[in-house]
Amino acid sequence: MADLPPSVLVANRGEIACRIIRTAQRLGIRTIAVHSDADAGALFVEMADEAHRLGPAPAAESYLRIDRILEVAEATGAACVHPGYGFLSERAEFAEACAEAGIIFVGPPAAAIRAMGLKDAAKALVARAGVPVVPGYHGAEQDPEVLRQEANSVGYPVLIKAVAGGGGKGMRRVEREAEFLDALQGARREATAAFGDPRVLVEKYVLSPRHVEMQVFADAHGHVVHLFERDCSLQRRHQKVIEEAPAPGMSPETREAMGRAAIEAARAVGYVGAGTVEFIADGRDGLRPDRFWFMEMNTRLQVEHPVTEAITGLDLVELQFRVAAGGRLPFLQEDVRADGHAVEARLYAEDPAAGFLPSTGRLWALDLAEGNGVRIDSGVRAGDDVSPYYDPMIAKVIVHAGDRGAALDRLSQALSETVVAGPRTNVALLRRLADAEAFRRADFDTGFIERNLEQLGVAAAPLDASMVAAGAVHLVRRAQARLAAATSLRQGARPGPWRVTDGFQLVGASSRGLLVTADGETLELRVEFDAKGPRVAGASEDCTLVEAEEEVLVLRDGRQIRVALHDPFDVDLERLDQEGAVKAPMHGRVVAVFVEPGDLVEKGQRLAVVEAMKMEHTLVAPAPGEVIEVAVEVGAQVAEGARVVALKGVSDE
């Protein structure tokens, strides 16, 4: 077998597809992307050497279609298929189907996936290999009464887990016996809905739990190593939010014991490729060699693999390709070194203040602080849509520095420079986490986020008036600029004295009330006009303003407010004052007047024509309004800037 496969079909999307393609291209491997209709214009499709459609947006009709993916693989002559994470990555049938089609599956043998696929069987298997597992009941019996008895003998609190579980679904913590049966019912319902399998197991709920996992790597020649641990204890609803390597408080003895256990678990299933063995540790007195227990093994590349890459200097995707092509791991355990500290934060399009609901839509701006020890893994660009069909992750921000404190400083800095406009994000939460004092002291466990939601700023905050004001000023300025552009366009936009950009001006300094909509709330602001333009008292000077069609997105400190003019006709200036004047663009003679006081005019309607230098210039209404004055007569000479017609906004107060 050659050293590397000549081509790869990437059976995934988004950031992980981009991540795989990047390494493949560096290694000279031809890349083949497959995509759904929703992703036809996605970054990974653009990056790949070729791309093929799978089907409509829903994953079941595209990214989960084994038959379609293999059709493309065969038609394109793909040497291997990389499944990424999620989707088909842990489906033994997919690995088998690839093998049958004579295409290398970049992952472990189907049997290893299957052996680790069900939590109860996996536990029994690794326990036989001498790996510590969480005390509990992992048996076949599913009778509620029996399970309750088992829970009683394990001792409360206990955790009910779906046997087929994943992503924290079908999991319930139970504090006391009286709550057990209700919780069991809930876990079963969820497990049935998510996995079509109601079976559960019961285990001891570990107090002060820390999630510490070991990256393992095995080749097909019986060689298994670990690449150190990652701490993924900052979670919300059992989903990882921030991960780091090494784990704070990890002693060499614990690392040694955990590494050995992970390698044993991998060996027990004949593992090949990249895998992660997840442990739960009791972190009450630091991480101790006798206080961690196997939870499960993920038989694929993990979302948080970049922190391991950062500290080891290895490219795990490259190793996956080499091992999949039959190569040997190019190092021994003792050659693997860790350098410094790495942290990854998952930047999500979600609204923490609204129960972390995904927040989809157009990314009007996306500026991620890359470089200087900051790596960005992302699958989207400014202008892309965050689709409701898939995981709403925008990017992974990965930092590497000499020690943990410096890495967290770097993360905080990178997050403060991050600009995402459009969907709401968790960027402010991530930054507060990076700065949280207790987390900095490594005094944390998997309940940290949930316990500190308020201090972490996860609450619906009242509208910030200074941000709304800044948005309003921007919208008024924009309206003025558009109006000026429209005016000069009508007049031929000729350079020199003929170019008049303020054919419709406010008379002197003035102020008026302006209705704006801010995050759906209607507010009235006072706008002052003078020679310097519009002003609103208290407007923030240090926010970022991003145009989003009729709205402006006002960003500061990870917060975003959408500001729009309440009435779209407010974009025209005459409603910014009680009265507006249409002025002569140049010295000339009035050759026609089309309106009289009292007339109601439409936007763009002709008002008068002024002739100068043998050219006619038509003055039009910049907005709908009522003519309140006609200051000239046909045949009269007018000076540049002289008032020709005065209008009043139709719906003015």
Q: SS3 for 535-567, per residue?
A: ECCCCCCCCEEEEECCEEEEEECCEEEEEEECC
Active site residue 300: yes
Helix (H) or strand (E) run with residue 172 in it: strand 172-174
Q: How far is the CB of 286 from ligand ADP (least distance, A)?
A: 17
Q: Which of residues 87-146 bind ligand ADP (CB under 6 A)?
A: 134
Residue 230's nearest CA partner among 317, 305, 320, 285 is 305
Cα(311)–Cα(398) distance, integer angstroms: 11
Which position among 238, 284, 451, 494 is part of the footprint of ligand ADP (CB under 6 A)?
238
Task: Report the SS3 class of residue 53.
Answer: strand
Counted residue by residue, the chain has a size of 653
Q: b/e for 436-464, b at 16 or more Cβ within 10 A?
A: beebbebebbbebbeebeeebbbeeeeeb
Which position among 5, 165, 198, 273 is part of the footprint of ligand ADP (CB under 6 A)?
165
Our CB check for ligand ADP shows the closer of 364 and 439 to be 439
In 375-526, alpha helices (H): 404-416, 427-435, 437-440, 448-451, 465-490
Give whole-number Cα distances, 10 to 171, 389, 546, in Å: 32, 19, 34
Which position among 41, 77, 139, 167 is part of the footprint of ligand ADP (CB under 6 A)?
167
Peptide bond into 157 cis (omega under 30): yes
Our CB check for ligand ADP shows the closer of 173 and 494 to be 173
Which position among 30, 211, 230, 583 is part of the footprint of ligand ADP (CB under 6 A)?
211
Which position among 55, 58, 166, 641 is part of the footprint of ligand ADP (CB under 6 A)?
166
Our CB check for ligand ADP shows the closer of 171 and 325 to be 171
Q: How far is the CB of 293 from ligand ADP (least distance, A)?
A: 7
Q: How far is the CB of 275 from ligand ADP (least distance, A)?
A: 14
Catalytic residue among 199, 230, 291, 300: 300
Q: How far is the CB of 320 from ligand ADP (least distance, A)?
A: 22
Extended beta strands in 283-408, E state: 292-298, 341-348, 350-351, 357-358, 361-362, 365-367, 374-378, 385-386, 393-401
* Candidate segments 26-34, 69-77, 203-211, 425-433, binder of ligand ADP by CB under 6 A: 203-211
Q: How far is the CB of 235 from ligand ADP (least distance, A)?
A: 5
Cα(186)–Cα(165) distance, integer angstroms: 14
Q: How far is the CB of 159 from ligand ADP (least distance, A)?
A: 5
Residue 207 is which amino acid? L
Q: How far is the CB of 157 from ligand ADP (least distance, A)?
A: 8
Q: Which of residues 464-503 bind ligand ADP (CB under 6 A)?
A: none
Which position among 215, 418, 446, 466 is part of the footprint of ligand ADP (CB under 6 A)?
446
Q: Binding string to ligand ADP for residues 339 to 378, with x set by CB under 6 A, is what? A: ----------------------------------------
Alpha carbon 298 to its chain centroid, in Å, reads 23
Residue 563's nearest CA partner among 479, 463, 485 is 463
Residues 6+ away with beta carbon under 8 Å from 496: none
Is 32 a binding residue for ligand ADP by CB under 6 A? The answer is: no
Q: Which of residues 253-312 bind ligand ADP (CB under 6 A)?
A: 278, 280, 295-296
Our CB check for ligand ADP shows the closer of 209 and 306 to be 209
Residues involved in catalysis: 300
Contact positions vs ligand ADP (CB under 6 A): 134, 159, 161, 165-169, 171, 203-206, 209, 211, 235, 238, 278, 280, 295-296, 446
